[in-house]
């Protein structure tokens, strides 16, 4: 037919990537970048990581470093969800919250995660990464409300989605928020970026004889009380069969290496070593 050629207003990649699971079965990963182990991941970064060498608050240089690591893998095709803690600013169970109603203190902690999410969004957008913040506590002027299907759509379009305010309820932590969103988004792994390169038999900063586990099962983590993440987060990952990968986000290139199965980290799955 004569006339203007048919032009898609956006590449139809998402159609190939994301068949309707209720019609087509589980999401396949045919176009997963082959050098990466996982196609879609949720990266949990604790607030403490964002402090850098400070004792409180946000160190923008450190935020920039984390943003650059995220940008690198996002540009190579890995779909990234981010959950950022708030411990660098406020924790419901901290000394600063003593005497305060626990639920109120926890809401303050959730607000801290929103501040961190906005800092991370700024750092990502500054280097050209399309980013959306979705908050579990609606805050229309600064972030989208959390809407699962909308978040999926953002990921398909190659945007980094930052989930703020944890699960949106007190008495939880951002670890639980990270596990919940990882399950909801159908992530292939939950990556926990910390300041140590995996799970150790004891705190490696205090005990020189501590050794790193290559692999662990969720059950071992719970039984040994290894404090990788909250028990509720571990249990949800176990029930959803989503591997947890603990690695150091402070090392250069570590996110990319970990996603490629290189470098040092601990993988937690249902399979015994």
Smaller CB separation from ligand UDP, 86 or 243: 86
The closest alpha carbon to 86, from 78, 98, 94, 75, belongs to 94
Tokens found for residue 171: 């008495």
Distance of CA 132 to the CA centre of its chain: 14
Smaller CB separation from ligand UDP, 48 or 207: 48
Residue 186 · residue 27 · CB < 8 Å: yes
| Residue ranges binding ligand UDP (CB under 6 A) | 46-48, 85-87, 91-93, 106, 109-110, 112-113, 166-167, 169-170, 172-177
Nearest approach in angstroms of CB 90 to ligand UDP is 6
Residue 16 · residue 31 · CB < 8 Å: yes
Nearest approach in angstroms of CB 45 to ligand UDP is 8
Let me know how long the chain is. 273
Q: Are strands 79-84 and 144-145 parallel, antiparallel or unpaired?
A: unpaired
Nearest approach in angstroms of CB 57 to ligand UDP is 12
Nearest approach in angstroms of CB 81 to ligand UDP is 15
Smaller CB separation from ligand UDP, 37 or 89: 89
DSSP 8-class letter at 80 = E
CA distance 121 to 132: 7
Smaller CB separation from ligand UDP, 17 or 197: 197
Nearest approach in angstroms of CB 1 to ligand UDP is 55
CB-based closest residue to ligand UDP: 85
Smaller CB separation from ligand UDP, 51 or 129: 51
Smaller CB separation from ligand UDP, 85 or 198: 85
CA distance 82 to 37: 18
| Alpha-carbon distances of 90 from 45, 110, 114, rounded to whole Å | 15, 8, 11
Nearest approach in angstroms of CB 267 to ligand UDP is 20
């Amino acid at each position: 037919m004569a006339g203007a050629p048919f032009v898609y207003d956006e590449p139809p990649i998402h159609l190939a990537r994301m068949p309707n699971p209720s019609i087509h079965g589980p999401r396949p990963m045919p176009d997963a970048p082959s050098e990466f182990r996982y196609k879609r991941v949720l990266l949990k970064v604790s607030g403490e990581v964002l402090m850098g060498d400070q004792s409180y608050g946000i160190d923008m240089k450190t935020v920039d470093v984390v943003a650059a690591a995220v940008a690198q893998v996002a540009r190579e095709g890995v779909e990234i969800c981010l959950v950022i803690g708030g411990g660098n600013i406020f924790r419901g169970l901290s000394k600063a919250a003593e005497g305060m109603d626990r639920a109120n203190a926890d809401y303050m902690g959730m607000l801290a995660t929103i501040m961190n999410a906005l800092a991370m969004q700024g750092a990502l957008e500054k280097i050209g990464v399309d980013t959306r913040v979705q908050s579990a506590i609606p805050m229309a002027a600064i972030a989208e409300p959390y809407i699962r299907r909308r978040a999926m759509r953002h990921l398909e379009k190659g945007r980094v989605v930052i989930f703020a305010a944890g699960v949106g309820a007190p008495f939880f932590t951002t670890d639980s928020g990270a596990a919940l969103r990882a399950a909801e988004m159908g992530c292939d792994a939950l990556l926990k970026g910390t300041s140590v390169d995996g799970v150790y038999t004891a705190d490696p900063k205090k005990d020189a004889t501590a050794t790193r586990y290559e692999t662990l099962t969720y059950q071992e983590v719970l039984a040994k009380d290894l404090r990788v993440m909250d028990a509720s987060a571990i249990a949800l990952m176990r029930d959803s069969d989503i591997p947890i990968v603990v690695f150091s986000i402070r090392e250069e290139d570590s996110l990319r290496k970990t996603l490629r199965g290189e470098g040092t980290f601990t993988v937690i799955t249902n399979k015994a070593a």
